Structure 1
Amino acid sequence: MLILSACSGQDKKDAADFFLKGNKALSQKNYAEALRLYDEAIAKNADFSDAYLNKGITLLKMGRPEDANEILTEAIKIDPTLTQANLVRAESGLDLGRLREAKQDLQQIEKDYKDSSRFFLVRGNLLGAEGNASLAVADYDRSIQLQKLNVEAYVNRGAIYYGLKNWKAAKEDFENALALNPVQPEALNNLGLIATKERNWKMALSYFDKVLAATPNDPYSLNNKGYVLLQTGSPEQAKELIEKSLERLPKNGYAFRNLGIYYQQSGAHEKAIEAFTKAIDIAEPVDMLYGLAGQAYFQQKNLTEACRIWKQGVVLKDSISMAESANNCR
């Protein structure tokens, strides 16, 4: 006689109990406990697709997108109709830079999610990552239309506007986000950046300080506050914050640029060049970077290297590079 192993009724009941407790822990942002409880649920019922889904959501909240992606794939294998798992897996794919896979997940569930604010938010994020700003904005518009209180959609649409240099629209979105959540860190930080561009140093500092009051080690606000302090005559305090930012986020081109500015102001041109070079090596767009790097070489009377860097900056539409190259290079 062939005996098949099966999940008993009691096991399923126990699994459901663990699942509900896990959901409560997840809603309370007690992610470690939620993870433990979902694992208990899965141990009692290996085919509990919803437990896999919520475990995936928890792992994503914990900043573990690779693990989340794996668990969500398991959920979809168990229940291919569990479309929410595709949506969350698309989010994990975005975090991992797997844009093609994220796109496939979203295309698969598009018909089922035509009234989902979350779907349009995630697809907007994908379109933004693909560099399609106008379609991203349209999806964020739809996301907000479906859910007026969608803080994330306001922040992310604001980030697109910021990238397009539409400061007015960006500012409005970040302020709308803060009206819904007064301590939303990305909105505060980005408003600080807009105030920095407007050279409203006092206002910029107030935004960065609000972020740091809640999260003292936030690398972006530490660095951005450091830049403002460099502009307002507090270089040593600035250096301390920039270096602290780099400890938290070692591959931040803006932080190396700001460190270069500190050394440039101090007359330590070799160290400035070293910092600017590190920023260039990270290969991410950083305002004024090539212009400042060229100036550091120029101050060392190395016109050949200065012009080489400025010419690279001209291609990238770096305003300092354009002016310096026109004045100093043939």
Structure 2
Amino acid sequence: MEPFSLMFGFICLIGGGAAGWGLNNKLLNPSRQSSTIESLEESKRIDDLIQQNFNQINEKLTKLSINMEYIKKYDIKMEAVFIANEALQGNADLIDALEKLAQFIPENADETYLPQIDSTISSLAEMLFEAISDLGEISPNTARKAGLLALSSGRTHRAKSLFESAYELAPGHSTTLGLLEHVSVLLGNKLDQRHWIEAQIELDPDNEILLRKHAHLLVQLGDDDAQKDVQRLRALGLDTPADRSLLSGLMARAGSMEAALKDIDLALEEDPFRAEDWLRRAEILMNGEDHSLALESVNKCLELDRQNGEAWALQARLLSCTPRLKEASKAATHAVALGSGGIELIMLKADLLLTLGEEEKAEETIDRALNEHSEDGEVLAAIADLRLREGRFTEAWDILQGAPTGSKNTQLHVVEGRLHLITADRTRDGTDITDQQLLSQAQMSFSKAIDMDRENGLAWLGLARTQRLLQQLELADESLTRAERLIKEDEPAVWTEKALLCLDTNRLEDAQRHVDAASINGAGAVLSYIRGNLSARAGNLVTAKSHYDEALSIDSSHVRARLNRCSIYMALDQEQAAYDDANVLLEIAPKSQLAKIKRAEALMMMGRWKSALDDLRDVTLLAPHHHQALTFTGACFIALGHPEQAEGPLNEALRWNTDFAPAWYQRGLLYLDWEKPEAAISDFSAAVKADSQHLDAYL
């Protein structure tokens, strides 16, 4: 029994006892019944007794009131119950009373907490909801908790209204979104349920439970976008046999080719002059990879309707896979002129014209598309990607920088990230400070792409590459695994990136295996570059050089292959060849500080110390922290007979990197020249400590 009920009964018991005692004395006393006239003394005595009893009752009630105040003070729940009762009687504010009851709901309570709500609290809340016509302005937390109270009392629509108020005041609260989803399920509103699940996925895009729930709901709604959820689960490595079964069912539901073909053939038997039916038939056959029959059907369509742009687009796609490239080019031209096929046909037309040797017309096609679709992110991304693949990086940057803010899409961010990687390759100086600044921009672009489309495999691949270059190797492995699950299995770029990651983690056998897997789908400059790195790691410098030669014969602009070959030349004492490679690098990438370092190193080997100093000054001017350039500067001053100018750069080099053995060694030589043997021995010891393989320091 509740404390309030106990106290109320106790008060009634005391009052009833007192009244009964008074009546008993008044009615049942024989002396009074027999007497017709009561004496004043007797009456006064009775009045005194009654007054005494009432005083006792009043004293007990006062004590009881004090006890109640004590209970209210130390039992918050009891206080809330009293305030709610007073509010219902008009003696307190209804909203305050509701807030008092709501405080017993935990901050992040959801629908699973409903069975734990006290029945008294729930009943009082229900009565308060009856009495309250307008809740007015309340905090989002109070609105959410009050919504749970409404749910506990069976007021689903009132709960929905309260949860919506909480959402308007704090739209990013995950618990509120979950409760709104729960209410939509109770009300049987699947569209609302979808909306609130998708809002939760925006906050937590890789939530396994939400993705699976969303997929099943979309299946119920007949929406094939459910495939995206299952693909994301697969990319996360969280897909189950049930998920794979769901995906299979979705693909089957997308339409059996035989059944679809049968239906369209029946329609054409009834009316063979419907051009759109012939086009539909061609599309079905093309999806079934029966290209010859698809071409026949699309030709029938064009016989009936020469202005059918989609038919011309389909014919162009089909013919582009055959030797009939001139016909394919004409079909693509018709499709583009009729505004059909989108950016895919524009790019196909340009590619066909290039293949046919009509470069000027191809350029006109691209320029026209750029002018006519200057606000279309998809078009801008495709053309920027083309310029990037052509090595026309400045034009690609111009397209990206000119893109309107609202046109930015996933592919634009991916292209931007790739351009940042190329820029980093061409301007990096080999130090963590500069290289991280350059690579962080690429990382930001790929992350933006992933935020927009988490099923974009190329974005994950780009992020993996960037993380590897930043030496975030565990993150790179995770991103690469995700990319591998989203990109088709025979994509060489995934295998080459896996090989490069294995190289960075000293798993050389695995790197070789991944290179072999990538080579199944054709050779490339990157594969030869990786093979060169593997040979160099094994100490086979001549073999490494031959692989770099091969890489540069395929792609003469491959910066890293040429840098590595330059190093190999110097290791083989072929300083002139190294110098020539460094010059070519600076023609390709004039801002490459690494190329200047390599050229300075080659010049030092050739004894051209002043020329080397010129390159080193350029590097340290842009990167004062470049410990290698500072060390080489010191070495040049020593060789030129200016040891007094060498100590400063060497000290600076060691300030930036105390583990750089060549700097310790060069300063040790300087101290030997100054006849400071103890200081020299100390520096040589530091060099050996920094690099136990530094033989010159040992000697």
**Could you say what secondary structure the match of 2:517 adopts?**
helix
Match for residue 510 of structure 2 among 94, 97, 101: 101
**Could you say what secondary structure the match of 1:125 adopts?**
helix
**Could you say what secondary structure the match of 1:112 adopts?**
coil
CA contact (8 A) 1:227 1:258 kept: yes
The answer as to 2:595 corresponding to 1:187 is: yes
Residue 20 of structure 1 aligns with which residue? 412
Aligned-pair CA distance for 1:176: 2.3
Aligned-pair CA distance for 1:45: 5.0
Distance in 1, matches of 2:551 and 2:598, equals: 21
Q: Which runs of 5+ in 1 are unaligned?
A: 292-330
CA contact (8 A) 1:192 1:205 kept: yes
Distance in 2, matches of 1:190 and 1:284, equals: 24
Distance in 2, matches of 1:195 and 1:44, equals: 49
Aligned-pair CA distance for 1:242: 1.6
Highest RCO, 1 vs 2 (Cα 8 Å, sep ≥ 6): 1
Q: Provide the aligned C-alpha RMSD in A.
A: 3.3
Aligned-pair CA distance for 1:65: 4.1
The answer as to 2:548 corresponding to 1:154 is: no
Match for residue 675 of structure 2 among 257, 267, 275: 267
Aligned-pair CA distance for 1:44: 5.8
Residue 170 of structure 1 aligns with which residue? 578
Residue 521 of structure 2 aligns with which residue? 112
Describe the shift of the 1:217–1:113 C-alpha distance in structure 2 as closer, same or farther (beyond 3 A). Answer: farther
Describe the shift of the 1:81–1:60 C-alpha distance in structure 2 as closer, same or farther (beyond 3 A). Answer: same
Aligned-pair CA distance for 1:222: 0.9
Describe the shift of the 1:199–1:168 C-alpha distance in structure 2 as closer, same or farther (beyond 3 A). Answer: closer
Describe the shift of the 1:248–1:178 C-alpha distance in structure 2 as closer, same or farther (beyond 3 A). Answer: same
Alignment-mate amino acid for residue 35 of structure 1:
Q
Residue 298 of structure 1 aligns with which residue? none
Distance in 2, matches of 1:149 and 1:241, equals: 33
Residue 620 of structure 2 aligns with which residue? 212
| Structure with max Cα Rg | 2
Q: Percent identity?
A: 23
Alignment-mate amino acid for residue 260 of structure 1:
G
Distance in 2, matches of 1:87 and 1:214, equals: 33
**Could you say what secondary structure the match of 1:209 adopts?**
helix
The answer as to 2:463 corresponding to 1:71 is: no
Aligned-pair CA distance for 1:221: 0.9
Alignment-mate amino acid for residue 680 of structure 2:
A
CA contact (8 A) 2:492 2:519 kept: no
Deviation per residue, 1:188-231 (Å, 9 max, x gap):
22222232233322112112122223322222111111111223
Distance in 2, matches of 1:245 and 1:180, equals: 29
The answer as to 2:689 corresponding to 1:281 is: yes
Describe the shift of the 1:142–1:255 C-alpha distance in structure 2 as closer, same or farther (beyond 3 A). Answer: same
Alignment-mate amino acid for residue 483 of structure 2:
A
**Could you say what secondary structure the match of 1:127 adopts?**
helix
Residue 244 of structure 1 aligns with which residue? 652
Distance in 2, matches of 1:42 and 1:244, equals: 41
Aligned-pair CA distance for 1:62: 3.9
The answer as to 2:549 corresponding to 1:141 is: yes
CA contact (8 A) 2:409 2:452 kept: no
**Could you say what secondary structure the match of 1:246 adopts?**
helix
The answer as to 2:497 corresponding to 1:88 is: yes
CA contact (8 A) 1:35 1:55 kept: yes
Distance in 1, matches of 2:441 and 2:542, equals: 41
Match for residue 231 of structure 1 among 630, 639, 662: 639
User: Which one is further off, 141-150 or 242-251?
Assistant: 242-251
Aligned-pair CA distance for 1:264: 1.8
CA contact (8 A) 1:69 1:93 kept: no
**Could you say what secondary structure the match of 1:149 adopts?**
coil
CA contact (8 A) 2:450 2:459 kept: yes
Describe the shift of the 1:191–1:44 C-alpha distance in structure 2 as closer, same or farther (beyond 3 A). Answer: closer
Aligned residue pair count:
289
Residue 323 of structure 1 aligns with which residue? none
Residue 294 of structure 1 aligns with which residue? none
1:13-52 equivalences in 2 (<5 Å): 17-28=409-420, 31-32=439-440, 34-42=442-450, 45-52=453-460
Distance in 2, matches of 1:287 and 1:175, equals: 31
Aligned-pair CA distance for 1:169: 2.4
Deviation per residue, 1:26-52 (Å, 9 max, x gap):
424575454345445545654432221
Aligned-pair CA distance for 1:163: 0.6
Describe the shift of the 1:35–1:153 C-alpha distance in structure 2 as closer, same or farther (beyond 3 A). Answer: closer
CA contact (8 A) 1:11 1:44 kept: no
Match for residue 5 of structure 1 among 214, 226, 231: 214
**Could you say what secondary structure the match of 1:119 adopts?**
helix
**Could you say what secondary structure the match of 1:142 adopts?**
helix
Residue 388 of structure 2 aligns with which residue? none
Describe the shift of the 1:27–1:191 C-alpha distance in structure 2 as closer, same or farther (beyond 3 A). Answer: closer
Describe the shift of the 1:156–1:85 C-alpha distance in structure 2 as closer, same or farther (beyond 3 A). Answer: same
Describe the shift of the 1:33–1:188 C-alpha distance in structure 2 as closer, same or farther (beyond 3 A). Answer: closer
Distance in 2, matches of 1:52 and 1:133, equals: 34
CA contact (8 A) 2:410 2:452 kept: no
Alignment-mate amino acid for residue 5 of structure 1:
H
Describe the shift of the 1:287–1:169 C-alpha distance in structure 2 as closer, same or farther (beyond 3 A). Answer: farther
Describe the shift of the 1:51–1:190 C-alpha distance in structure 2 as closer, same or farther (beyond 3 A). Answer: closer
Alignment-mate amino acid for residue 20 of structure 1:
L
Alignment-mate amino acid for residue 89 of structure 1:
K
Residue 320 of structure 1 aligns with which residue? none
Alignment-mate amino acid for residue 24 of structure 1:
E
Describe the shift of the 1:136–1:11 C-alpha distance in structure 2 as closer, same or farther (beyond 3 A). Answer: same
Describe the shift of the 1:159–1:278 C-alpha distance in structure 2 as closer, same or farther (beyond 3 A). Answer: same
Describe the shift of the 1:69–1:222 C-alpha distance in structure 2 as closer, same or farther (beyond 3 A). Answer: farther
User: Which one is further off, 43-52 or 168-177?
Assistant: 43-52
CA contact (8 A) 2:576 2:602 kept: no
User: Which one is further off, 193-202 or 136-145?
Assistant: 193-202
Aligned-pair CA distance for 1:233: 4.0
The answer as to 2:663 corresponding to 1:255 is: yes
Distance in 2, matches of 1:246 and 1:101, equals: 37
Distance in 2, matches of 1:61 and 1:281, equals: 27
CA contact (8 A) 1:22 1:33 kept: no
User: Which one is further off, 68-77 or 41-50?
Assistant: 41-50
